[in-house]
Structure 1
Amino acid sequence: MSNLKPDSVIACLDCPNHVQAVLEASMWASIRLQAPIGLLYSVPSLQQKAAVDYSGCLNIDDENTLLDQFTIKEHLSNCELKAQGKLLLHQASSYCEQQRHKIKTYTLHRHEKLDDSINYVDDQAQLIVIGHHVTCKSTLSQLIRSSHCPILVTHAPFLPPTSALFAFDNSPTSHKMLNWLCKTPLVRALLIHIVMVGKENSENCDALREAYARLKQAGIKCKKTLLDCRDVTAALTYYQRDNDIGLLMTGAFAQPRLIELLKGSDTKKLLGSTTTPYLLFPKA
């Protein structure tokens, strides 16, 4: 029987260098969404038994020596892989308990690939939090593209944002994300910069003005900007850095595949260039 709790924040612990950042980001989201945290760990492929170095991934002393012993070995047995996962989940639970946020956590120890585990939680989770570097064969882009749940990608360390950039392009995905932003408490306390990159014509100005009005009506503090630039990634990156914005928010792979093949994916470029937390909303 599954112990997955509906509407959870799912913390993916598959990124050894980002475990603490993933937990910090998950706790930040959990407090705002009033949701439990599901600590998700997928046992690495039993065909690839190389040890993954999780030693020192959390700033607590509890059983660090045991994790060190796991990483000394070049390869781990099936039983040792499972034991390493249980130990990591225990450490993550202990870390969350020590933060005094009174956040409910539970563990999801999956004996499958990470992409299969994400498919398992995808339909019932409120938010999936994952580190920028994953250990599985699937790339981060592939994991995000196949998800139907908003995903927050974090670097280390995680810094709680006070402002967010919402990249609005008047597409079905960005309108769906706009509806979500008007309802979710996740970013309600932040100053949201709604930014459109495109020609300064009446169609774009009207669309941006209407989206801005929707956010204002929802009680969200925001400001709007239209950037007349051909390079979407460069424009958003420059604007975010110039305004010291702590969170980037866009639709995930909303461009048609043909445009991605010809010009490249803006989502993939932004994943490679941003150094702040990045919230991606699934394609409509």
Structure 2
Amino acid sequence: MSNLKPDSVIACLDCPDHVQAVLEASMWASIRLRAPVGLLHSMPSLQQKAAINYSGCLNIDDENALLEQFTSKEHLSNYELKAQGRLLLSQATSYCEQQRHKLKTYTLHRHENLNQSIDYVDDKAQMIVIGHHVTCKSTLSQLIRVSHCPILVTHAPFLPPTTALFAFDNSPTCHKLLNWLCKTPLVRALTVHIVMVGKETSDNCDALREAYAKLKQAGIKSKKTLLDCRDVAAALNYYQNQHDIGLLMTGAFGQSRLRELLQGSDTKKLLVSTKTPYLLFPKA
């Protein structure tokens, strides 16, 4: 029987360098969404049994020595992998409790790879939080492609944002993201910069103005900008850096495969270049 709770924020604890950042980001989202946090650990595949060093990933001393015992071996048995996962989940639970946010947390210990685990939680989760450096063989891009749930990718350390950049391209996915932003409490307290990259045509100006008006009507403090630039990722990075914006939000892989092949994927470029938390909304 599944212990997955509906509408949870799922914290993926697969990356040692980002465990604390993922927990911080998950708690930040959970408070705003009023959702429980599901602490997810996926056991490595049979082909990947190399020991992963989780010791010191959280500032909890009493169990660090226990986690260190798993790093002394080149490969771990199934029993040892399960024990390491249980210990990590216990430590993550203790860390969340120490933050005194009064959050509801529970654990999900999956004996499968991260890709399969995300598929398992995808339909019921409200949001998935993942570290920028994943340890599974599937790349970050592949994990995002298969998800039907908003994914928040975080670097370490996680810094709670006060502003957000919503990259708007008038696509069906962006309109779906716009509708979600108008309803979700996640960004209610943030100033949202809605930015469109493209020519200053009447169609683009009208689309941007309508999207901006929709955010304002939803009670979200907003600013709008149209950037005339051919390189979408470079323009968004420049604007985000110039205005010191703490959260990037885009649709995920909205381009056609042919355009990605010819010009490269804007989503992939942003995943590489963005140094802030990055919220990706699933393709419509």
Q: TM-score, normalised by structure 2?
A: 0.99
Tell me whether 42-51 or 93-102 shows the greater mean CA deviation: 42-51
Alignment-derived partner of residue 269 in structure 2:
269
CA distance in structure 2 between the aligned counterparts of 1:263 and 1:207, rounded to whole angstroms = 24
Aligned partner letter, 1:76: L
Give 1:48 deviation, angstroms.
2.2
- SS across alignment from 2:186: coil
CA distance in structure 1 between the aligned counterparts of 2:222 and 2:61, rounded to whole angstroms = 43
Give 1:47 deviation, angstroms.
2.8
Contact kept? 1:198, 1:230, Cα under 8 Å = yes
CA distance in structure 2 between the aligned counterparts of 1:46 and 1:54, rounded to whole angstroms = 19
Q: String of CA shifts for 1:224-257, please: whole Å, max 9, x gaps.
A: 0000000000000000000000000000001111
Please list, as runs of the form range in 1=range in 2, the aligned pairs for 1:127-206 lying within 5 A after superposition. 127-206=127-206
CA distance in structure 1 between the aligned counterparts of 2:47 and 2:198, rounded to whole angstroms = 48
CA RMSD of aligned residues (A): 0.5
Give 1:76 deviation, angstroms.
0.9
Q: String of CA shifts for 1:172-222, please: whole Å, max 9, x gaps.
A: 000000000000000110000000000001000000000000000000000
- SS across alignment from 1:117: helix
- SS across alignment from 1:82: helix
Aligned partner letter, 2:232: V
Aligned partner letter, 2:261: L
Alignment-derived partner of residue 97 in structure 1:
97
Give 1:61 deviation, angstroms.
1.0
Alignment-derived partner of residue 60 in structure 1:
60
CA distance in structure 2 between the aligned counterparts of 1:122 and 1:212, rounded to whole angstroms = 30
Flag as ranges the 4+ runs of structure 1 deviating above 4 A: none
Alignment-derived partner of residue 234 in structure 2:
234
Give 1:49 deviation, angstroms.
1.5
Count matched residues.
284
- SS across alignment from 2:187: coil
CA distance in structure 2 between the aligned counterparts of 1:157 and 1:100, rounded to whole angstroms = 19
Q: Which runs of 5+ in 2 are unaligned?
A: none
Contact kept? 1:62, 1:91, Cα under 8 Å = no
Alignment-derived partner of residue 75 in structure 1:
75
Aligned partner letter, 2:204: N
Q: Which runs of 5+ in 1 are unaligned?
A: none
CA distance in structure 1 between the aligned counterparts of 2:62 and 2:282, rounded to whole angstroms = 37
CA distance in structure 1 between the aligned counterparts of 2:45 and 2:51, rounded to whole angstroms = 11
CA distance in structure 1 between the aligned counterparts of 2:107 and 2:176, rounded to whole angstroms = 31
CA distance in structure 1 between the aligned counterparts of 2:124 and 2:219, rounded to whole angstroms = 27
1:115 aligns with 2:115: yes
